[in-house]
């Protein structure tokens, strides 16, 4: 039987050939300390974080100071089987799911990365991107370091290994050299460390299960395994877990607090909380605010699944217009389904998303989505609704125009490929074939999410919307996307 995908495994690819040019999730990390079923908990935790990375997965455990690990390409359920789980005993572990944002999809870059150094074994997993990694790598190579991967994570391992200080101080010194957005888990034979960047760009949360501690990119992973949420890891903080329990340290003062706004808009699961804010509730408020800012008389409201459903419900509640499932997502197609011809490729859109004809036919439809990147996705979905008989299609977006690339772990195209960087809203409306188009205002987005009253933009990074990045960025050298590549 001819395969319907290219490559060696189902999700191989970088998304450039994806039917829908949606922004790609970064990565997800999960850690366990002090629980006898560490590997099993990591498996289920990574499964809950699968939406953050679908190309590779890995788990490393420590059993009485001995490392056991397995990494592979594909989904969590494809990478691990019973034999793999039984081969990884231990009461502590770190795990990782990865999405390749720069095109290199290979096992060498799958995490956690495991190293030998003078202090023993070292395993590292990260979510995010180190903006100045290229400069650090060049400096290390000039001093004799040899790199085995293209991952930012290996840069950290080299910085730690070269330090003459003990582990925690070496890690502090290493992180102090980094610029970017990141959440790290570092495991040695007897300790587990967790750290967030000085701005808190990438989420990382701490929980408890029995006598053990759990760390994860999102709180939804806690719900999956029955853990209780304790708190978010704070910007510039290092948590150290060892035989004596939990120790809280800092490697940098809190700088401008700037959690990624796209986590709230799109990336994180709606059942997760970030900084105490529930994603479903904040997305509903975005939809309600859109209704206030850009009401249009229509018959039904529908959301592009899955991330825009909550906002569509909010828009419908605010306007009194009926919410309907006008679009249905097929959950059993891969993200990188590649067809051999443009004709079949266009038909492939309907394999991922279908318009419900009996719902939209003869109706004026408000279509809610989270963002417009190149514009091709929105045009295809609008045309799906029109082909199903919609009389009008009014598009409402729960974010401001996405006009700038992200340097902190999101897979974004070059600025020249972002439709909002070169076209007016009216030109974008024409390009996507909509009857009307409105983007949520920046103040409306900030108010919908909430956050820290005394922080700039209520503690959000809005660089992809306003070109105001919380860190210094060398635009010639900085790598767009995730540092896992």
**pLDDT tens track for 22-39:** 676 579 999 999 999 999
Q: Which of 406, 400, 412 is nearest to 464 (CA)?
A: 406
Question: What pLDDT, on the 0 to 100 scale, is given for residue 166?
Answer: 95
Q: Residues 311-333: what's their mean pLDDT?
A: 93
Element (H, E) at 314: helix 309-319
Domain covering 273-466 in this structure, CATH number: 3.40.50.2020
Question: Which residues fall in the annotated binding site for [4Fe-4S] cluster?
Answer: 260, 406, 461, 464
Q: Residues 287-315: what's their mean pLDDT?
A: 97
Task: Please state which of the ranges 9-13, 103-107, 176-180, 344-348 shows the lowest mean pLDDT.
Answer: 9-13
Question: Is residue 343's pLDDT more than 90?
Answer: no
Residue 482 annotated as catalytic? no
Question: Which residues fall in the annotated binding site for Mg(2+)?
Answer: 307, 369-370
Question: What pLDDT, on the 0 to 100 scale, is given for residue 1?
Answer: 32
CA 232 to chain centre: 17
Per cent of the chain over pLDDT 90 is 76
Q: Are 105 and 64 in contact (CB under 8 A)?
A: no
Q: Residue 118's pLDDT band (boundaries 50, 70, 90)?
A: confident
112 cis-preceded (ω within 30 degrees of 0): yes
Q: Residues 240-248: what's their mean pLDDT?
A: 97
Q: Are 122 and 78 in contact (CB under 8 A)?
A: no
Question: Is residue 323's pLDDT more than 90?
Answer: yes
Question: Which residues fall in the annotated binding site?
Answer: 260, 307, 369-370, 406, 461, 464
Question: What pLDDT, on the 0 to 100 scale, is given for residue 15?
Answer: 41
Domain range annotation of the chain? 27-255, 273-466
Q: Which of 427, 372, 366, 370 is nearest to 391 (CA)?
A: 366
Q: Which residue has the higher pLDDT, 413 or 448?
A: 448
CA 380 to chain centre: 24
**pLDDT tens track for 190-236:** 999 999 999 999 999 999 999 999 999 999 999 999 999 999 999 99
For residue 195, report the phi and psi dihedrals to the nearest 5 degrees.
-150, 150
Question: What pLDDT, on the 0 to 100 scale, is given for residue 409?
Answer: 85
**pLDDT tens track for 302-320:** 999 988 999 999 999 999 9
Q: Establish how many alpha carbons lie within 13 A of residue 181's alpha carbon, considering only the half-sphere containing its beta carbon.
A: 32
Question: What pLDDT, on the 0 to 100 scale, is given for residue 268?
Answer: 95
Question: Is residue 425's pLDDT more than 70?
Answer: yes
Output the CA torsion 346→351→353→354 (10° steps). 100
Residue 276, SS3? coil
Other beta carbons within 10 angstroms of residue 448's beta carbon come to 24
Q: Residues 113-140: what's their mean pLDDT?
A: 93
Q: Which two tokens stand for residue 165?
A: 């200080």
Domain covering 27-255 in this structure, CATH number: 3.60.20.10
| Active-site annotation holder among 27, 60, 220, 484 | 27
Q: Which two tokens stand for residue 179?
A: 């610029």
- Can you tell me the distance from the alpha carbon of 232 to that of 223, in angstroms, rounded to the nearest whole number? 15
Question: Is residue 20's pLDDT more than 50?
Answer: yes
Length of the chain: 485
Task: Please state which of the ranges 135-139, 144-148, 203-207 shows the lowest mean pLDDT.
Answer: 144-148
């Amino acid at each position: 039987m001819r395969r319907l995908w290219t490559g060696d495994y189902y999700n191989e690819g970088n998304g450039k050939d994806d039917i829908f040019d949606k922004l790609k999730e970064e990565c997800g990390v999960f850690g366990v300390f002090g629980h006898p079923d560490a590997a099993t908990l990591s498996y289920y935790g990574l499964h809950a974080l699968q939406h953050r990375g679908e190309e590779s997965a890995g788990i490393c455990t420590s059993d009485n100071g001995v490392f056991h690990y397995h990494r592979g390409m594909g989904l969590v359920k494809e990478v691990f089987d019973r034999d793999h789980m039984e081969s990884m005993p231990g009461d502590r572990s770190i795990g990782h799911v990865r999405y390749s944002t720069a095109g290199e999809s290979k096992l060498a870059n799958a995490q956690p990365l495991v190293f030998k150094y003078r202090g023993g074994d070292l395993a590292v997993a990260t979510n995010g991107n180190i903006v100045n990694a290229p400069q650090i790598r060049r400096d290390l190579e000039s001093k004799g370091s040899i790199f085995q991967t293209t991952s930012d994570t290996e840069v950290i391992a080299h910085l730690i290994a070269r330090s003459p200080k003990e582990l925690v101080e070496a890690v502090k010194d290493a992180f102090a050299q980094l610029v970017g957005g990141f959440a790290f888990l570092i495991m040695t034979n007897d300790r587990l460390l967790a750290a967030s960047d000085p701005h808190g760009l990438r989420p990382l949360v701490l929980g408890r299960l029995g006598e053990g501690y759990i760390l994860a990119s999102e709180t939804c992973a806690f719900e999956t395994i029955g853990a209780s949420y304790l708190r978010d890891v704070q910007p510039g903080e290092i948590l150290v877990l060892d035989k004596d329990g939990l120790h809280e340290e800092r490697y940098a003062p809190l700088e401008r607090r700037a959690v990624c706004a796209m986590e709230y808009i799109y990336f994180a699961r709606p059942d997760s909380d970030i900084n105490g804010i529930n994603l479903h509730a904040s997305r509903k408020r975005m939809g309600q605010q859109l209704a206030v800012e850009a009401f249009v008389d229509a018959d039904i409201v529908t959301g592009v699944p899955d991330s825009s459903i909550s906002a569509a419900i909010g828009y419908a509640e605010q306007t009194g217009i009926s919410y309907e499932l006008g679009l249905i997502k097929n959950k059993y197609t891969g993200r990188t389904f590649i067809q051999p011809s443009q004709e079949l490729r266009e038909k492939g859109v309907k394999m991922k998303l279908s318009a419900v004809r009996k719902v939209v036919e003869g109706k004026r439809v408000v279509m809610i989505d989270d963002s417009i990147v190149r514009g091709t996705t929105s045009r295809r979905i609008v045309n799906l609704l029109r082909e199903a008989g919609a009389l009008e299609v009014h598009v409402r977006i729960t974010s401001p125009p996405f006009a700038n690339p992200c340097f902190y772990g999101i897979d974004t195209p070059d600025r020249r490929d972002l439709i909002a960087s070169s076209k007016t809203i009216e030109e974008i409306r024409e390009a996507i074939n909509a009857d009307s188009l409105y983007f949520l205002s920046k103040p409306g987005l900030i108010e919908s999410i909430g956050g820290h009253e005394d922080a700039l933009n209520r503690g959000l990074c809005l660089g992809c919307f306003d070109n105001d990045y919380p860190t210094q960025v060398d635009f010639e050298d900085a790598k767009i996307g995730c540092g896992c590549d």
